């Protein structure tokens, strides 16, 4: 009973940590970017966010490799530390290379928590609990991102107003045309960003509290009957299993397809003739779709199974991608059509995220879960880089390239889903059965 309580407490502590990191993610991807873009000296860094994301993917994945030796708790502490130090440095250093390094440090901290989620939660939950626990973790993190983005924007406007002795409404209206700022207004605008980013350094520090409350045992991340040298050694050959390889192929294809369309929603909708304000509103609706569909993910998985949810929902999202791609054909109703398409595409694709995070952890033992999660993250990062290169070279230079990208993504999703359903459906669609071992063993 005491052991079961420990596992449950650790699970909920991580959910709190992940939600808090969602808030910091929202700040990093919004306030930090606008801060870097506002200053002529750092615009180049802001324009390199795709590279910084890649660094975050690889750096975050690399930290997982230290878990078999150091444990989850110590490695978790590096996340808020990297974000806090990075946010402080990005507001204070002057060298362009150091600004890039600082921003990269923030992104490593942000991406790290996405990478550690699968092995950590798999360690402290049973097979039956995982759909609900993973779902709760992910939708609270997304909600945290919404809160972080919204609060960051309002705080910046308030600090900007205070610095210029203006009302909140006047300051907010001024920010609609940053390019028209006077030198003093620009200086105060950048200063307002610094104030807010430093506030969130405190939020990062608060992140240490739930991490320090985690009660960890060696058996959580390594076999107790092995020497310290063996615990630290990773058996990479064990990752050559058929299911491991095919799942890597699946996540690589899904990531590649998504990266051909999702980063370019604003560009594509603008080219369709939808105004910037409406475009921002439509894109923001996706976050709410993610929260809603991820929250109901356990119900969907219970009804149709894990593999069918993962592959089937990807196929279900394809018609809505076609609606987006052909939005102009709806004429006066194109905003409604594209809005519905964006909402449901995002919803159906993200509804299976808890399964995509939890299922691969069943292919390996507890001592290999951090390494496998790290490999998955690196593969996804590589797929993101490949998609970017293919898009720039073969698609986006064409007049209709952004439309073609939706058809390419649809084709990739079909191939990925067929592979997944063919290889995994029979063995992994439903849990293997009730775990008969003790609670401490059943979640190993």
Which of 162, 187, 219 is the C-terminal boundary of a domain?
219
Q: Give the span between the Cα atoms of 27 and 168, in whole angstroms.
A: 20
> Per the confidence metrics, is the pTM higher than 0.95?
no
Q: What is the pLDDT of residues 335-369, one digit of tens each?
A: 999 999 999 999 999 999 999 999 999 898 887 88
Q: Is there a domain that residue 228 lies in?
A: no
The beta strand positions in 226-305, using DSSP E, are: none
Residue 213: per-residue pLDDT? 95
How far is it, in rounded angstroms, from Cα 96 to Cα 23?
26
> 3-state DSSP call for residue 77?
coil
Of the pLDDT bands very low, low, confident and very high (cuts 50, 70, 90), residue 439 is: very low
Whether the pLDDT of residue 260 is over 60: the answer is yes
Among 266, 292, 285, smallest CA distance to 348 is for: 292
Q: Model confidence at 124, in pLDDT bands (50, 70, 90)?
A: very high
More confident residue, 323 or 4: 323
**Are 86 and 103 spatial neighbours (Cβ–Cβ below 8 Å)?**
yes
Q: What is the pLDDT of residue 148?
A: 87
258 and 201 in one domain? no
pLDDT tens sequence across 213-244:
999 988 888 766 554 444 456 667 777 889 99
User: Do residue 246 and residue 160 come from a single domain?
Assistant: no
10 Å Cβ neighbour count for 405? Answer: 25
Answer whether residue 96 shows pLDDT above 50: yes
Q: What pLDDT does residue 206 have?
A: 96
Domain count, the chain: 2
pLDDT at 105: 95
Radius of gyration of the chain (CA): 22
**Domain check: are 213 and 293 in the same one?**
no
Residues 204/80, Cβ–Cβ less than 8 Å: yes
Of 47-51, 142-146, 227-231, 340-344, the one with minimum mean pLDDT is 227-231
Domain containing residue 147: 1-219
CATH number of the domain where residue 424 is located: 1.20.1250.20
Would you state the pLDDT for residue 152? 86
Both 323 and 211 in a single domain?
Answer: no
Indicate whether 293 belongs to any domain. yes
Q: Tell me, yes or no, whether 64 and 41 share the same domain.
A: yes
From CA 93, how far away is CA 87, in angstroms rounded? 10
Whether 214 and 292 share a structural domain:
no
Q: Is residue 410 part of a domain?
A: yes
Residue 3 lies in a domain: yes
Residue 443's pLDDT band, with cuts at 50, 70 and 90, is very low
- E-assigned strand segments in 324-393: none
Claim to verify: residue 370 and residue 309 sit in the same structural domain: yes
pLDDT score for 434:
35
227 lies in some domain = no
How far is the C-alpha of 227 from the C-alpha of 212, rounded, in Å?
A: 26
Say yes or no: 274 and 363 in one domain: yes
Instruction: For residues 36-48, give the mean pLDDT.
Output: 83
Give me the pLDDT at residue 420, please: 96
Mean per-residue pLDDT of the chain: 87
Cα 368 to Cα 64: distance, rounded to the nearest angstrom: 10
- Assigned domain for 225 exists: no
The answer for residues whose C-beta is within 8 angstroms of residue 183's C-beta and 6 or more apart is: none
Which residues, other chains included, contact 148 with Cβ-Cβ below 8 Å and sequence gap of 6+? 22, 23, 24, 25, 26, 27, 30, 200
Domain check: are 287 and 141 in the same one?
A: no
Residue 175 in this model has a pLDDT that exceeds 50:
yes
Give the number of other CB atoms < 10 A from CB of residue 422: 11
Q: Is residue 291 part of a domain?
A: yes
318 close to 414: Cβ distance less than 8 angstroms: yes
Distance CA 208, CA 211 (A): 5
Query: Domain ends where: 171, 192, 219?
Result: 219
**Is pLDDT at 405 greater than 50 in this prediction?**
yes
Rounded to whole angstroms, the Cα distance separating 266 from 437 reads: 51
In a domain, 148, yes or no: yes
Whole-number Å distance between alpha carbons of 339 and 16: 32
Least confident window among 63-72, 173-182, 297-306, 406-415 = 173-182
Residue 437, pLDDT score: 37
Q: What is the pLDDT of residue 233?
A: 62
Q: Give the pLDDT band of residue 436 (cuts 50, 70, 90).
A: very low
Evaluate if residue 23 carries a pLDDT over 70.
yes
110 burial (CB, 10 Å; 0-12 / 13-18 / 19+) is buried
Tell me what percent of the residues of the chain surpass a pLDDT of 70. 93
Q: Given this model, what pLDDT does residue 4 score?
A: 87
């Amino acid at each position: 009973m005491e052991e079961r309580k420990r596992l449950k407490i650790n699970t909920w502590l991580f959910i709190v940590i992940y939600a808090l990191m969602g808030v910091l993610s929202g700040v990093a991807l919004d306030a930090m970017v606008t801060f870097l873009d506002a200053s002529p000296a750092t615009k180049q860094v802001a324009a390199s966010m795709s590279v910084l994301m890649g660094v975050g993917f690889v750096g975050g994945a690399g930290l997982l490799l230290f878990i078999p030796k150091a444990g989850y708790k110590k490695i978790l502490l590096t996340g808020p530390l990297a974000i806090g130090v990075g946010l402080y440095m990005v507001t204070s250093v002057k060298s362009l290379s150091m600004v890039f390094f600082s921003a990269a440090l923030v992104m490593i901290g942000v991406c790290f928590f996405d990478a550690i989620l699968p092995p950590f939660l798999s360690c402290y939950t049973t097979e039956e609990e995982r759909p609900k626990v993973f779902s709760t973790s992910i939708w609270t993190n997304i909600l945290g991102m919404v809160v972080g983005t919204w609060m960051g924007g309002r705080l910046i406007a308030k600090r900007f107003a205070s610095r210029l002795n203006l009302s909140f409404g006047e300051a907010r209206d001024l920010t609609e045309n940053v390019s028209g700022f006077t030198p003093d207004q620009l200086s105060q605008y950048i200063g307002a960003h610094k104030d807010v980013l430093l506030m969130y350094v405190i939020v990062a520090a608060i992140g240490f509290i739930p991490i320090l409350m985690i009660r960890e045992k060696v058996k959580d991340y390594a076999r107790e009957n092995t020497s310290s040298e063996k615990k630290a050694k990773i058996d990479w050959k064990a990752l050559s299993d058929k299911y491991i390889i095919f799942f890597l192929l699946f996540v690589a294809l899904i990531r590649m397809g998504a990266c051909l369309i999702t980063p370019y929603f604003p560009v594509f909708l603008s080219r369709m003739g939808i105004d910037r304000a409406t475009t921002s509103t439509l894109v923001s609706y996706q976050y709410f779709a993610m929260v809603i569909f991820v929250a109901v993910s356990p119900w969907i998985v219970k009804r149709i199974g894990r593999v069918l949810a993962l592959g089937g929902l990807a196929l279900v999202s394809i018609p809505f991608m076609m609606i987006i791609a052909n939005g102009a054909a709806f004429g006066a109703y194109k905003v409604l059509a594209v809005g519905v398409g964006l909402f449901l595409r995002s919803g159906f694709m993200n509804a299976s995220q808890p399964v995509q995070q939890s299922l691969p952890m069943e292919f390996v033992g507890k001592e290999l879960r951090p390494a496998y999660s790290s490999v998955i993250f690196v593969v996804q990062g590589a797929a993101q880089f490949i998609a970017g290169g293919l898009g720039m070279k073969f698609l986006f230079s064409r007049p209709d390239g952004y439309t073609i990208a939706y058809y390419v993504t649809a084709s990739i999703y079909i191939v990925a889903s067929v592979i997944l359903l063919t290889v995994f459906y029979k063995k992994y669609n439903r849990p293997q059965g009730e775990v008969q071992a003790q609670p401490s063993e059943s979640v190993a």
